[in-house]
Chains A and B, each alone.
Chain A
Amino acid sequence: MDKKEFPGAVQNWPGGGMVVTSLTDVVNWSRANSLWPLVFGTSCCAIEMMSAASAKYDWSRFGFEVARATPRQADLIICAGTIVYKMAPVLKRLYDQMADPKYVIAMGACTISGGPFFYNSYSVVRGVDHIVPVDVYIPGCPPRPEALLHALIELQLKIKNRKSGDTKQVVSNI
């Protein structure tokens, strides 16, 4: 079955119909199609993230347009930009403040490994996965908006294929 469609089968009955599905599938389907990202951009990648929100790339086609400024209303952190040691506790706190289920996308080379340039820097965290668990990585410096859209669709697929009872591991305090 196409994952973009509603997960279930419609049984036609006289005078109406009945949908047969499983609760996990419906929950995953609705979660995947209404991901609310947190506005969290530290540097260059944030500009490409804004481009992805603009009319040309238009991430609202996939249900991401409700960008929230507070972590308490967000489902997803798109880590757009370098994380340095001074910022790391802030990111951890933002992640902790989000309600479950929560997802993280590491956007750009800096969040994957500390960056193509800043890897040897004394102040840069070498990969955001030292702080929070990451679901999808996007390479690039900065990645194109198309790459971000691809990552968001990959994340949707990941959520849709989630089995009930799966829990995410949270890295303990840094």
Chain B
Amino acid sequence: MIDKEEIEDLTQAHEEDFILNVGPQHPSTHGVLRLKIKLQGETVTHIEPHLGYIHRSIEKMCEASSYRNFIYLTSRMDYLSAHMNNQACAMVVEKGLQLEIPKRAKVIRILMSELTRLASHQLWWACTGLDLGATTPFFVGFRDREVILDIFDETCGSRLTMDYNVPGGIMFDIHPNFQKNVHAFLKGFKKNLPEYHQLLTGNVIFQNRTKGVGYLSPEDTISFGCSGPTARGSGVSCDIRKWQPYDGYEDVQFNEVLETAGDCYARYLVRMREMEESVKIIEQLIDNIPEGDFQAKTKAVLKLPKGEFYSRVETARGELGVYLVSDGTSKPYRMKFRSPNFSNLSALREIAVGGKIGDLVANMAMLDLVIPDIDR
């Protein structure tokens, strides 16, 4: 824990302190995060994140859009988990309408979510390698990721921001080649996964840079509201897919990945093992997509009853909560997103203060931040 006296204004810096400004244009912040860092020699003594460099007022824009349209704004929030963001928003509208969606839509949603999670983790793995000075992981990670993006392209019509969910199910049925292509991807990915471990996991330089670096205690994890692999690397069980299953996650067999070390290497291992779990989920469902409708019948203009609705999903980065207040009209009265990245960023001070400035990049990489999700 940091003492309250240590959290002082950066203007009160002592003569021997050095103030370093990282960002907003810096490749290892993965976007436009700005960090003001106070250094004593090489040791980080204080970190102050500055937000708002990509604040696009998505929450406010949602209040001006109808219940069908606001979903598509949210794929630009955490664009690496675009499908899960859409799913959370579709679910909150379905909750308001008390709509039961067809079994086929649920299974396809899970399949798409897990493919998105895989693509997101592959990108994280590729960029982690790049941040820590290895170029090869970038090409290996993107090689496998492109296969998933081709599958999305074929079925959803878009590579990154899929916009595939609508209130009541999914927008259209899967492409006839979907199952064949997913099988081909799984076969290739399972063959390639040992290569991932060869390149980074077992690498001595990588282990020296991550093992014992950036410790986050379980108590701090909970008090900062961290979720996702960041929290599970400290041994805090928080997988929404297990604790509050949605859209049929209760019917699939998978394990919640937990590591107890709480350092960068533990957070790395959680994500690597999560990829294996995602493969397991996809394998269970890909040949068992039930027949039937892919969308429940809904009215052209959706109107939610007065009240408050909340839904949450597990994105690739943690728990995304969508809070919606309805006043009975065709537009939301208030939208609030509880984004996983914002909470995970708040733990950065706990993680990085006391460490060396050289370890900051490793700490940032293992938090896997997406800045537009923080600023919204």
Contacts and interface: CB of A to CB of B under 8 A. Distances in A.
Interface of A: 39-44, 46-48, 50-51, 54-56, 69, 81-82, 84, 86-87, 90, 94, 115, 117-118, 120-124, 141-142, 144
B54 A42 contact: yes
Contact of A81 (B54, B146, B149): B54
Contact of B139 (A54, A81, A82, A118): A54
7 contacts: A44-B160, A44-B161, A44-B372, A54-B139, A84-B52, A86-B53, A90-B53
Contact of A41 (B31, B139, B143): B31
Contacts of B61: 117-118, 120-121
A46 B160 CA distance: 11
Classify the secondary structure of A's interface with B: loop
Interface of B: 24-27, 31-32, 52-57, 60-61, 64, 72-73, 76, 79-80, 123, 138-139, 142-143, 145-146, 149, 159-161, 371-372
A121 B80 CA distance: 22
Contacts of A90: 24-25, 32, 53
Given A42-B54, A43-B76, A90-B53, A121 B32 contact: no
Nearest to B53: A87
Nearest to B75: A44
B56 A124 contact: yes
Given A54-B138, A141-B161, A122 B25 contact: no
- Tell me the interface secondary structure of chain B in the complex: helix
Nearest to A41: B31
A123 B56 CA distance: 6
B161 A69 contact: no
A55 B56 contact: no
A55 B52 CA distance: 33
A19 B22 CA distance: 49
Closest 8 CB pairs of A and B: A54-B142, A44-B79, A43-B372, A121-B57, A87-B53, A56-B146, A69-B27, A39-B27
B160 A48 contact: yes
A30 B364 CA distance: 38
